[in-house]
Each structure stands twice: as C-alpha cells, then as structure tokens.
Amino acid sequence: MIVVLKHGVEAAKREQLIDWLKGQGLTIHISEGEYQTVLGLVGDTTRVDMDLIASLGIVDSVKRVTEPFKCCNRKFHPDDTVIDVNGVKIGGNFVMIAGPCSVESEEQIVAVAKAVKASGANILRGGAFKPRTSPYDFQGLKATGLELLKIARQETGLPIVTEIMGVEHLPLFEDVDIIQVGARNMQNFDLLRELGKLRKPILLKRGLASTLKELLMSAEYIMAGGNEQVILCERGIRTFDDYTRNTLDLAAVPMLKELTHLPIIVDPSHATGIARLVEPMALAATACGADGLIIEVHNDPMHALCDGAQSLRPEVYDDLAQKVRSIREVIAK
C-alpha cells in the first residue's frame, strides 16, 4: 500500500502518522521527491483502514500495490534510485563497467584496468570466483583474485565489482565496492537474504530463464533486509536460438524502468557470447535507456582463461566507448 502525503505537510503530523502505521506492525519506506512524499507500507496491510487514512488532512491519496514486489516498485519510490559507489553515480549517470571475465594475474588485471579507464570506464569488473559449467575449467583465482582486484583499484582509482558464489565467502568481500550476484545465483535466496543485511551495492544479474517479475522478486529479497542499493542487469536469457550464447532482451530495459526505480544496466558480452556482436548490442542498449553497460575486455582474448570469444581487445572497447558517448548525446536531445 502507498500513502501519498500532501505537499508541505508538517513534520510532526507526518511522524505521528508514521508511528501509528508502525504500531500496526508495518515497515514504512519513505520516499521524498521534489513535489511529493510517498510512504510505502510493507507487511500485512489487509487490516489497514484505507478510508480512515485517506480521510486524514495530510493525506493526498492511498493506493493498494497489487504487485508482489514492493520496495523495488516504482510506485513506492517515483524517482530513480541513484547509487553512489565511491563518487561514481549509478542511476544518475551512465556507468561504464569493464574488465576481464576473470582475474588471471596482477599484470593482466592492472593493464586492463588502466586501458578501460583511459577509454572512459568508471568501474572495473573481474571475476575471482567463477561459476563454470564444467568443473574441469578454470574456476578463478578466488581470494588471490580479490587481492589482485584491489591492487588494480589502488593503481587506477576505479571501484571494483566482482561475483560472490556462496554465503560462506562473504567475509572476503568486505572491501569489495559492488558485490555481483551472477545469473546462476539469482534465486539463491539464502545468499540474497544475507546480502540484504549489508549496506553495500549489489549487482543482481537476471537468471538464465527468469522472468522480469522473478528478477524483481530477487531484488525484493535484498531490499526487504534493508539494503536498498540494488542494480539490475539484463544479460540475455536462454531461448531456442543457438547462434548467439543467449538472447538479449532489450525490451526488459524500458519495461523495468516502468516497474522499478532501481538502475538497470546491460551486459552485451554474456548476452551474445560473440565479440563482434558486443558493440551493436551495447549501442542498442544505450539507445533504449539503460543506465550503463558491463562489458568484458581482455588484453589477450585468444589466451583468456574464460570467455575469450566474447571479450573485446582494449582498442575495440575504446572505439565502442566513443560510439556510446555519441548515442548518449543523440538521445539526450
């Protein structure tokens, strides 16, 4: 349920209403916009007397939120959420996240970090714990990989994002700027609940065969715990086509923009699996209103330990980044 307050209501009256609602066992999310304040009520609202609330002098309107996702619902928070990662704004500004699929060595991660930064990237990606289909494939450098990412952050000033695979690794991720939940873990509800206890940005990737509602319900798991810093990522879904690794669902971007206030970024690398398709899909994602891109870049894709076929060489990324800027100028007009 949402309660929209009239413009300029007295703080004391507002607090009185909030306390009264809390007294009914509800959690209240307050969204203060420029023109209106929205109270989002979470919990069992079936016994809340809507007519009584609507009759209060400070209340403009009361509506039931029929969708099962509440905290991430645009109705709860009409303005876009802006997440600040060490000064980099996600949701307010367009964000360029880039880096290798996996951290392989200090030289590799530092070289790629410097290159993508020079091309305008503002966050560094790199997997240390890798979810691989085959148990015989490279599984990531794990804790050492996280240390190497921190060295690359130190060298470049870029915040880092890296994937967590299990709750047991949480202590290792304390000094990571954004924790990524991979597609395969989107419905690992125990993990989501633990991440909800943190006050740290979470990059939540859409599951391989998940609906948008399921993605939003996973975001809700994190937000219900009080961690409101969730970034959604469309990374392609499994369909019947097999020329591309996945099918990039770009309509998800404007749809999610309607449904939720959370930032939504696009991963054209995992969506296509083919380096030469990354640029056209990155440009399309920019044009359709994504809040950013996450792209795999490797200094030697031919010898990459993971996802070389979809990884861009730094000079190709540089070209792509320039074109993304041009598209942004066009759509800003």
* Angle subtended by helix axes 314-332 and 275-287, to nearest 10: 20
CB of 236 to ligand PEP, least distance (A): 8
Of 71 and 97, which has the nearer Cβ to ligand PEP?
A: 97
106 sits in which H/E element: helix 106-118
Of 117 and 235, which has the nearer Cβ to ligand PEP?
A: 235
Query: Minimal CA–CA distance to 72: which of 296, 257, 310?
Result: 257
Other C-beta atoms closer than 10 Å to the C-beta of 49 total: 10
CB of 270 to ligand PEP, least distance (A): 4
> What is the four-CA torsion angle of 106, 111, 112, 118, rounded to 10 degrees?
140
Binds 205, which of Mn ion, ligand PEP, none (CB < 5 to 8 A, cut-off by type)? ligand PEP
Residues binding Mn ion: number (CB under 5 A): 2
Which residues of this protein are in contact with ligand PEP, per CB under 6 A?
101, 127, 131, 182-184, 205, 235, 267, 270
- Contact flag: residue 228 with Mn ion (CB under 5 A): no
Distance separating alpha carbons of residues 57 and 54, to the nearest angstrom = 8
Other C-beta atoms closer than 10 Å to the C-beta of 86 total: 13
CB of 111 to ligand PEP, least distance (A): 19
Q: Which residue is nearest to Mn ion (CB)?
A: 101
Of 75 and 270, which has the nearer Cβ to ligand PEP?
A: 270
Distance separating alpha carbons of residues 190 and 165, to the nearest angstrom = 12
20, 158, 277, 293 from 268: Cα distances, Å? 47, 21, 8, 8
Binds 74, which of ligand PEP, Mn ion, none (CB < 5 to 8 A, cut-off by type)? none
Binds 77, which of Mn ion, ligand PEP, none (CB < 5 to 8 A, cut-off by type)? none
What's the residue count for the chain? 333
**Cβ within 8 Å of residue 202, ≥6 positions away:** 178, 179, 180, 181, 195, 222, 227, 229, 230, 231
Of 156 and 185, which has the nearer Cβ to ligand PEP?
A: 185
Check if the beta carbon of residue 57 is closer than 8 Å to that of residue 50.
no
Binding track, positions 295-314, relative to Mn ion; x by CB under 5 A:
------------x-------
**Cβ within 8 Å of residue 73, ≥6 positions away:** 40, 65, 67, 259, 260, 261
Of 183 and 312, which has the nearer Cβ to ligand PEP?
A: 183
Q: 163 exposed, middle or buried (CB, 10 Å; 0-12, 13-18, 19+)?
A: buried
Distance separating alpha carbons of residues 140 and 157, to the nearest angstrom = 23
- Residue 10 is encoded by which pair of tokens? 């007295």
CB of 267 to Mn ion, least distance (A): 9
CB of 301 to Mn ion, least distance (A): 12
Binds 70, which of Mn ion, ligand PEP, none (CB < 5 to 8 A, cut-off by type)? none
Binds 117, which of Mn ion, ligand PEP, none (CB < 5 to 8 A, cut-off by type)? none
Of 20 and 189, which has the nearer Cβ to ligand PEP?
A: 189
Strands 2-5 and 59-63, sheet pairing: antiparallel
Binds 131, which of Mn ion, ligand PEP, none (CB < 5 to 8 A, cut-off by type)? ligand PEP
CB of 178 to ligand PEP, least distance (A): 12
CB of 37 to ligand PEP, least distance (A): 37
Binds 235, which of Mn ion, ligand PEP, none (CB < 5 to 8 A, cut-off by type)? ligand PEP
CB of 327 to Mn ion, least distance (A): 24
Residues lying near Mn ion in the complex (CB under 5 A): 101, 307
